[in-house]
Chains A and B, each alone.
Chain A
Amino acid sequence: MKQAELVIIGGGPAGLCAAVSAARSGAKVLIIERNKDLGGQLLKQTHMFFGSEKQYASLRGIDIPAILISELEKYKERVEIIKEATVVGVFEDGVITVLEKEENYFKIAPKALVLATGAYEKYLSFPNNDLPGIYGAGAVQTLMNVHGVKPGNKVLMVGAGNIGLIVSYQLMQAGVKVEAILDAAPKIGGYLVHASKVRRMGVPILTSHTVKEAIGKEELEKAVISQVDEKFSPIEGSEKTLDVDVMCISVGLTPLNELLAMRGCKMKYIPQLGGLVPLRNENYETSVENLFVAGDATGVEEASAAMVEGFLAGLCAAEKIGYRLDNFEEMKNDYLKQLEELRSGPAGKHILSGIEQIVL
């Protein structure tokens, strides 16, 4: 069995920051990443990030992994990275099992774990929602921004949260027409600067609207949309048919953290955080000792918050196994303050009302 000090599951924004922070503290770090490249969702984010300088605001998401990886290289003698590997089990004795490149199966016994597995996309039920041409927003971003492939020519974006608005903008940058952005909620969920940005490109944003059905033989040809009332029920007679060959579903994310449940972490269903999330203390340690979490796996937020959570969880996990920085308290308080800042506005209120229910 492979021995390790600190294993970080997931090499996205939270995992990379946790690795930097823990390695900086002196811990030996092993990152296990499912994909070929480190960076997670950052690899698709061609837009500039919000937040403050400390969270790389104003830089484009796609440029952040290189910064974090070069930071990791400073400590390369104690950083190991396994790519194209999935952690398939976390067991009661602390042992984890890993499947590498779908053929090499092995066990690791780490002293501590940081789980930074991110989130997965929610989907929407409507007739024919399995027609080719109907994608999740993440898939559209991967096609366009990672592989340089246009998903189609005319898009209906379903969801006016930040992801829906940003992906609409990116589609237009790729030369794809966005026919409309709709959302069942009565108000736009994403940042209004993003909404204004797509609106002044001529894209209508239809709040209080939903998809009634998709139409097409071999692939998506049309989408029927309708207005909804305040109870989110479709209003008879308000239907409209749009000629689109792509529908992009962007109706939110759910934390991806089954491994925590498997290990016996206390979990709670918190709608504000996107679904089932682990209880955790201020240091992002769960109810299971030496098992830490960070990023969307602990509640869906912006990438800026995920990165700060990663830095904090990595710092605290390293401290827990004996690598305490001289300025540990100062660093920790700085991360806590950054999180407080990111969550203190109207957009963060909702998140905070969820977090209050999970802090041990």
Chain B
Amino acid sequence: MFEKTGIPSEEMIMGKFPSIERINKGAVAVVECYKEIPCNPCQTACKFGAIIIGEDINNIPKLYADKCTGCAVCLSKCPGLSIMVVDGSKLEETVEIKLPYEFVPLPKEGQIIKGLNREGEYITDVKVLKVLNPKSFDRTPLVTIEVDRKYLYEIRNIQVEV
């Protein structure tokens, strides 16, 4: 189905998430790159060797969650915008999710916006914690949102009302 719709299955998604224990320890990347394409900037961007593609640049990137610091440098380097960072270490009830977001207007810190799933459907309201857009991100800003823990595996996008 994925190849017909662009929507990954639950099983595919779960296969990309680090364990909940790891997520609860602190920020970690989720690399949702499911299909071999000739591309390796994520590996080049990661100074910790936490994303490995290897000799053949068509390989699917493999995340080594124990090496990942959650620094999020890879998020704005991935041409497919397929990477996010999740952090379950801050609060009991919520998780923090950092997403690349290349649209205007950018949300403001503290703003309540819509959280969308991988089909673009509204799931729940989320709170914007941080918006980063330095020059080094090359016009791919990162938005950190606070999300009810039960939607950890569902939220993948945001919508900012104009």
Contacts and interface: CB of A to CB of B under 8 A. Distances in A.
Contacts of B8: 196
B157 to A, nearest CB: 4
Contact of B37 (A50, A59, A208): A50
B40 interface: yes
Contact of A196 (B36, B37, B39, B82): B82
A256 B121 CA distance: 42
Interface of B: 2-8, 32-41, 44-45, 56-58, 77-82, 102-104, 116-121, 138-140, 156-157
B3 A188 contact: yes
Contacts of B6: 188, 192, 195-196, 198-199, 205
13 contacts: A48-B138, A50-B39, A57-B40, A188-B6, A192-B3, A193-B34, A193-B37, A196-B8, A196-B82, A197-B82, A201-B157, A207-B5, A348-B38
Contacts of A202: 116, 119-121
A123 interface: no
A199 B3 contact: no
A225 B89 CA distance: 49
Given A57-B79, A341-B58, A196 B3 contact: no
B38 A193 contact: no
Contact of B41 (A57, A193, A196, A343): A57
A49 B104 CA distance: 21
Nearest to A199: B6
Given A47-B79, A58-B44, A207-B4, 10 more contacts: A48-B78, A50-B39, A58-B77, A59-B138, A60-B139, A191-B80, A192-B3, A201-B120, A341-B57, A347-B36
A191 B4 contact: no
A187 B3 contact: yes
Interface in A321-360: 341-348
A241 interface: no
Contacts of B32: 193, 196
A200 B157 CA distance: 6
Contact of A53 (B41, B78, B81): B41
Most buried by B among A59, A172, A193, A208: A193
B36 to A, nearest CB: 4
Contacts of B121: 202
Given A53-B44, A60-B139, A345-B37, A193 B81 contact: yes
A203 interface: yes
Contacts of A208: 4
